[in-house]
Chain A
Amino acid sequence: MKLKQLSAALLATAILPATVFAGEVEVLHWWTSGGEAKSVAELKKMMNAKGDTWKDFAVAGGGGDNAMTALKTRVVSGNPPTAAQIKGPAIQEWGAEGVLANIDAVAKAEGWDKQLPPVVSQVMKYKGQYVAAPVNVHRVNWLWVNPDALKKAGAKVPTTWPEFFETADKLQKAGIQPIAHGGQPWQDATLFESVALGVGGADYYKKAFVKLDQATLAGPTTVKVFETLQKVKGYIDKGAAGRDWNLATAMVINGKAGMQFMGDWAKGEFTAAGKKPGKDFLCVAAPGTANSFTFNIDSLAMFKQKNPAAQKAQSDLAETVMSKDFQEVFNLNKGSIPARLDTPMDKFDDCAKKSKADLTTANKNGGLVPSFAHKMAMPSATEGAMVDVISQFMNSSMTPKTAAERLAKAGKVH
């Protein structure tokens, strides 16, 4: 009897440190670089103001891969953090494991359905119930341009693909590398995505990369997309293999290259180099995608908590993340735009304002599409298989027709 009590007490002390204390939120994230870390500090301050304690659980490196490994260990051991930085269909995958918390109560009280574009709120829900809160919206289909380089070559900013190749030819003649690119699989996929949206349009994009329609994926439009990509490939230098995206951005900044296809996190590199948007660099939609918007949204998925105090703190966290104040300050630091549509934009720069305006238009005309290169559109297995095909195409002499067939085959992986 005594032994039993003793062992129970021992067990309790062993478990106790592992449980989350009253009013404590533990958030797993990999926002560790300059501007991002500042944003997280802001969130911590806001949570402290609400009387909750903040426990940081930052796992840097590997674009979140390391953090995901840490998360899996914690969830398998039955001790998940309050929230974790998870995005896109991965939220559904975690939901299917039955470990995410329902935060519908907060969402209803705050009216999230009205504040978020339906395409966005859909991603945040598992089986119709909110399980995650979005913190920002990145636009992926940007083309970053060095206007001085274009002026030197006597070229103009392209808005369609024929214009793009004209500009690229002129740049090449002037001895300037037309496109700055890094030959890493995700960058290849980012480029492909913008080409696909520009050549095929939003309806094609949705059919092929959201619904994974086999006929569309193997069809003539995909072949045309790959043909265009092949042409684009010709304007990329050989040294691009393995180059990091920010080094490619640096090539545009110092005029070595004319243009780069990259999401709006590239803006941070330009501003850090003291460049002004609209004057030293231009942000324009990738050719043919002016009315569309490929979104990449970071979000915090909420994990089930046993302790009622921890549940209360979790609701506070969800509420804070979606507050106008947080959405504004987080995104000013990170370079993206607020997910909440009614956040005031007057403190943001021109690129962000343009992004916001395009988001609103695209939301109305159906051009708002998830970025599959950034894990927003399909399960990670399918996305991985597709990225493999694209990066193989970029690094071999595969014909556009074979590439389309392989892409369709990759679409069946799930």
Chain B
Amino acid sequence: MSSPNKASSWSALADRWLPKLVLSPSLAASLLFVYGFIAWTAWLSLTESRLLPDMTLSGLVQYRELFDNDRWWTAVANLGIFGGLFIFCALAVGLLLAVLLDQKIRAEGALRTIYLYPMALSFIVTGTAWKWMLNPDLGLQKLVNDWGFPNFTFDWLVDPDKAIYTVAIAGVWQSSGFVMALFLAGLRGIDDSIIKAAQVDGASLPVIYWRIIIPSLRPVFFSVLLILSHIAIKSFDLVMALTGGGPGTSSDVPAIFMYQFAFTRGQLGLGAASAMMMLMTIVAVLVPLMYMETRSAKRG
């Protein structure tokens, strides 16, 4: 009589503790490797660490030096240009593709795969391929020149004032298919009867999209913004492969700045300070977004 009782108390105990037990290693790992190292970086940014970590606090010296550094401001401005263009264009192109694909066209599956395919490539591959295509002596410019338009020039890649735009072009090409897939999933989730009702009321197709469908995609917009903005802020590999931060330092972004100062120039403290600035930017963008999202989810 006692054994089933015992077994049930064991299983009750397991029910209570097993989920926590199973989750605890990953919780401990993320506490240590994510939050622990964020705290360590924050600490380093307040020290005079050079080649190796030095744990004596020295106040905000590194931040002062960072804000006095021309190259940091170039990187920040580039992030603004790249981030803004990348997020806006990827969003617009992705939404447009999704809406067009949603018109019950033939071979939708094949087209969807084609548009989604760039997502399967790593940013390094995208960067290298676009580097060849945009190289004036090798790619697009040479092709058009050879077609018989010798005056055609497209040398943004080697133009210090325009190199950052090529990064945005390659980034949009890579990510808009993914954005399209997210929007398409959202479009498929909309109740058909609303659209039918609007059609009965005599609304034209553009009006239906503009007034009904796009506003009801609001949660998808949030997810897309979340994903795109963190890709933009931490972008490193794409810029490295496409322009290497050049010509000169003209297409530098904060992630490259951080890597070079922390690891190749023996200015670990300054690198840590720039990493903290990047973290703060991400937090400043994402926390309001996530707050708005959860609030609207509660209301909805």
Chain A residues with CB under 8 Å of chain B are: 62, 65, 68-69, 72, 75-76, 90, 93-94, 97, 183-185, 188, 238-242, 379-381, 383-384, 388, 391-392, 394-396, 406
A381 and B53 CA atoms in complex are apart in Å by: 16
Interface string of B34-77 (1 = CB under 8 A from A): 00000000000000001111000000000000000011000000
Contacts of B265 in A (CB 8 A): 380-381, 383-384
Contact indicator A184/B246 (Cβ below 8 Å)? yes
Within 8 A of A (CB), among B232-254: 243-244, 246-250
A241 and B243 CA atoms in complex are apart in Å by: 9
A379 and B50 CA atoms in complex are apart in Å by: 11
Kindly list 11 other residue pairs between chains A and B, CB separation below 8 angstroms, not including A68-B264, A384-B260, A391-B246.
A72-B52, A94-B51, A183-B158, A185-B246, A240-B158, A242-B158, A381-B50, A391-B247, A395-B248, A395-B250, A396-B160
Smallest CB separation, A146 vs chain B (Å): 20
Closest to A384 in B: B265
Interface size class of B (residues with CB under 8 A): 20 to 34
Can you spell out 30 A-B residue pairs with CB atoms less than 8 angstroms apart?
A65-B264, A68-B263, A76-B52, A90-B266, A93-B50, A93-B266, A97-B52, A184-B246, A185-B246, A238-B158, A239-B137, A239-B158, A241-B157, A241-B158, A242-B246, A380-B264, A381-B50, A381-B265, A384-B265, A388-B70, A388-B71, A391-B246, A391-B247, A392-B70, A392-B248, A394-B247, A395-B160, A395-B248, A395-B250, A406-B70
Contact indicator A185/B248 (Cβ below 8 Å)? yes
A185 and B135 CA atoms in complex are apart in Å by: 19
Chain B residues with CB under 8 Å of chain A are: 50-53, 70-71, 135-137, 155, 157-158, 160, 243-244, 246-250, 260-261, 263-267
Contacts of A69 in B (CB 8 A): 263
Contact indicator A380/B248 (Cβ below 8 Å)? no
Contact indicator A183/B250 (Cβ below 8 Å)? no
Contacts of A395 in B (CB 8 A): 160, 246-250
Closest to B161 in A: A396
Contacts of A241 in B (CB 8 A): 157-158, 246-247
Of A62, A72, A396, the contact of B51 (CB 8 Å cutoff) = A72
Of A97, A240, A379, A391, the contact of B249 (CB 8 Å cutoff) = A391
Contacts of A93 in B (CB 8 A): 50-51, 266
A130 and B3 CA atoms in complex are apart in Å by: 77
Contacts of B136 in A (CB 8 A): 238-239
Contacts of A90 in B (CB 8 A): 266
A394 and B250 CA atoms in complex are apart in Å by: 11
Closest to B51 in A: A93
Contacts of A239 in B (CB 8 A): 135-137, 158
Contact indicator A65/B248 (Cβ below 8 Å)? no
Closest to B248 in A: A395
Of B50, B51, B247, the contact of A242 (CB 8 Å cutoff) = B247
Contacts of B248 in A (CB 8 A): 183, 185, 188, 391-392, 394-396
A394 and B265 CA atoms in complex are apart in Å by: 21
Contacts of A75 in B (CB 8 A): 52
Smallest CB separation, A357 vs chain B (Å): 35
Contact indicator A183/B249 (Cβ below 8 Å)? no
Interface core residue of A65, A242, A391, A392 (most chain B CB under 10 Å): A242
Q: A93-B50, A379-B266, A381-B267 are in contact. Are A184 and B244 (CB under 8 A)?
A: yes
Contacts of B267 in A (CB 8 A): 380-381, 384
A381 and B157 CA atoms in complex are apart in Å by: 28
Contact indicator A242/B244 (Cβ below 8 Å)? yes
Smallest CB separation, B74 vs chain A (Å): 9
A241 and B249 CA atoms in complex are apart in Å by: 11
